[in-house]
Amino acid sequence: MCGGGGTEPQICGTIVGLTCDEGLWCDPDPGSCNVADGGGICVDMAACDKSNKPVCGCDGKTYPTDCVRQMAKIAKDYDGECDAGPTVCQINTDCGPQDGKGTTFCMKPDNMCDGAGTCAIKPEACITLFSPVCGCNGKDYSNGCVAHSAGMNIKSNGSCGITIPPKEQ
């Protein structure tokens, strides 16, 4: 369990699911919006930073203060106002360099390889769940997250030789 009584921040979250004491919230590390099983620190929302500095939440909304963001229980992406909105793209290079070091790609709806998409951040870490997908490049990926982390959109569910219909929502 995490506590808030000491001077050292208490770690929470992570792959082992460390929790916070009652009245505290596990605030994920800034910039960890797309990281599965990321860690954070336990914070007392009543004692949050009330300075008038806007922050961008992982939900893409600008919060007037970090305190307001914490009260909404939204992870912080970065300090400052959020970007105006998603950038429309056609191909990955519309979103930035694709030299193997780029962190963004042109994400399109599943089962759509052509047409417009929006620039998205490549996931840095993925779960090991095996749920194969066929990428728009004709290669198999162990799951959608792995395809997206490679900057690849999903052509279909299942291996490229076998198509599994999408789940109805």
Segment 23-34, tens digit of pLDDT: 888 888 887 777
Contacting residues for 101 by C-beta, under 8 A, at least 6 apart: none
In this structure, are residues 155 and 149 in contact, taking their beta carbons and an 8 Å threshold? no
Reported as a single tens digit per residue, the pLDDT across 76-109 is 888 898 877 677 899 988 888 766 667 889 999 9
**What is the model's pLDDT at position 4?**
43
11-79 to CATH, choices 2.30.29, 3.40.30, 3.30.60, 3.90.550: 3.30.60
Residue 68: Cβ within 10 Å count: 16
Same fold, 11-79 and 88-157: yes
Domain extent listing, the chain:
11-79, 88-157
Which CATH class for the 88-157 domain?
A: alpha beta
**Averaged confidence pLDDT in the chain:** 83
